[in-house]
Amino acid sequence: MAGAENSLFIRTLQGETSVRPPVWLMRQAGRYLPEYREIRATAKNFLDFCYTPSLSVEATLQPLRRYPFDAAILFADILLILDAMDRGLRFETGEGPILNPLEKASDLEKVNLSKVATRLSPVMETVSRLKQNLEPGFPLIGFAGSPWTVAVYAIEGRGGTDKKLPKLWAYTRPDELKAVLDHIVLATTEYLKAQVEAGVDALMLFDSWAENLPDTVFDWLVIEPTKKLVANLWAEGITVPIIGFPRGAGAKLPDYVARTGVTAVGLDTGQVPAFVNANLPAGFPVQGHLDPLTMIAGGKAMLNRADELIEAYRSAERPHVFNLGHGITPDANPENVAELMKHIQAMG
Ligand code: CP3
């Protein structure tokens, strides 16, 4: 155990409530910070940046110097696992990620799973350096993409799509898609196990493309692979809290919570507090879900909604980690983050 058990963040994930919620923000390290843009410019490309521990450590720490966040998140990317699986990942300026589109499950089967963690060893080096640099007991979050979201990128070969190809696989080649998901589950188990061994205190599973799926399909594309991944981690003796983030799950959220085994659930911008309180088990911890665009708007739009969310979960005695409903955008105003933090800190 890495010693963060007594932090507000971990205690909240374990089911405690407190006067003010712990806070961190998705993508808290990154382009809205001028100091990030400065060090980012020293790397040849984004992959090199992620694989250079001195830079990744610095990017993780930058937001913590500005703001009193309650947790750090490892600086890396959910797509690194596909680099380790030889999918030709590259980040082209202005285009986002590009990969060689997967044609069949057997393309992944050539990958030696035991080598995934070795290939990603710079990430584990970043984790251990961070644990040396952070105050003792300050929580560090490790993460991976959820199997479905990673499969979407692998099959489409890029992001920001309508998921047409992987959804068509679900209807026309379900066995092939299941094999892809199973393979990603195994590789991700190795990767997350290595992150925990290197010292992370909690894990987050980003299912960014869980939205707009029919409920029957959601079941085997999102819930089942996540459940397998969580069960694998438990079988490896991993006990750190696991936050699942099925973005856009909507009314399918209670089923996700009941069946995957995650410790806590990340809520997206469009999720409804009254629905969450009425439909998730009493005391089940949630994380989220202020609209990231309020970090551009600032003022009342930001503060009033923050108050509403905090009050909704406080009055239901539901453990709540305050966060955004999706990643902060590059055009967010750092002054607004400061104001939000001041506002929440003043609660207690
Ligand atoms: O501060 C943190 O949250 C830690 C670092 C982090 C990054 N990406 C850094 C990053 C984390 C947790 C992620 C997760 C991630 N990556 C997700 C899940 C969350 C979400 O947003 O839904 C997804 C879908 C990705 C895939 C990804 N990475 C895309 C689509 C892109 C390009 C588009 C974009 O937003 O820039 C990236 C690149 C990326 N990952 C950047 C950063 C800071 C920007 C690259 C740069 O600085 O040049």
Q: State pLDDT tens for residues 225-278.
A: 999 999 999 999 999 999 999 999 999 999 999 999 999 999 999 999 999 999
> What are the CA-CA distances from residue 152 to residues 106, 138, 155, 184, 222 (Å)?
16, 34, 5, 11, 11
State in Å: Cα 27 to ligand 1 middle. Answer: 7
Top pLDDT among 73 and 161 is at 73
Report the C-alpha gap between 103 and 173 in whole angstroms: 11
pLDDT at 162 over 90: no
Which of 24, 27, 152 is the best mutation target for the ligand 1 pocket, counting ligand atoms within 8 Å of the beta carbon and taking the most? Answer: 27
pTM over 0.95: yes
Query: What would the mean pLDDT of 210-226 be, rounded to a whole number?
Result: 97
pLDDT value at position 1?
44
Note the CATH number of domain 4-345: 3.20.20.210
Which residue out of 27, 129, 247, 318 is catalytically annotated?
Answer: 27
With bands split at pLDDT 50, 70 and 90, how would you rate the model's confidence at 196? Answer: very high
Radius of gyration of the chain (CA): 19
User: Does the annotation mark 37 as catalytic?
Assistant: no
Q: pLDDT tens for residues 294-342?
A: 999 999 999 999 999 999 999 999 999 999 999 999 999 999 999 999 9
With bands split at pLDDT 50, 70 and 90, how would you rate the model's confidence at 348? Answer: confident
Query: How far apart, in Å, do the first and last CA atoms of the chain sit?
Result: 28
pLDDT value at position 218?
98
User: Does the annotation mark 153 as catalytic?
Assistant: yes
- Mean confidence (pLDDT) of the chain: 96
Q: What is the 3-state composition of the chain as percent helix, strand, coil, each rounded to the nearest 5?
A: 50, 10, 40
Q: pLDDT tens for residues 15-29?
A: 999 999 999 999 999
Tokens 């990744």 label which residue?
56
**Helix or strand (DSSP H, E) at 320:** strand 320-324
> What are the CA-CA distances from residue 116 to residues 6, 84, 184, 194 (Å)?
32, 6, 11, 10
State in Å: Cα 341 to ligand 1 middle. Answer: 22
pLDDT value at position 161?
76
pLDDT value at position 110?
81
Q: pLDDT tens for residues 53-80?
A: 999 999 999 999 999 999 999 999 999 9
Which residue out of 32, 36, 153, 191 is catalytically annotated?
Answer: 153
State in Å: Cα 65 to ligand 1 middle. Answer: 21
How many other C-beta atoms lie within 10 A of the C-beta of residue 121?
14
User: Does the annotation mark 219 as catalytic?
Assistant: no
Percentage, residues of the chain above pLDDT 70: 99
State in Å: Cα 8 to ligand 1 middle. Answer: 26
Q: Which residues contact 311 (CB under 8 A, 6 or more apart)?
A: none
Would you list the domain boundaries of the chain?
4-345
Strand 140-145 with 202-207, pairing:
parallel
> For ligand 1, which residues put their CB under 6 angstroms from it?
26-31, 40, 46, 73, 75, 77-79, 96-97, 143, 159, 206, 208, 327
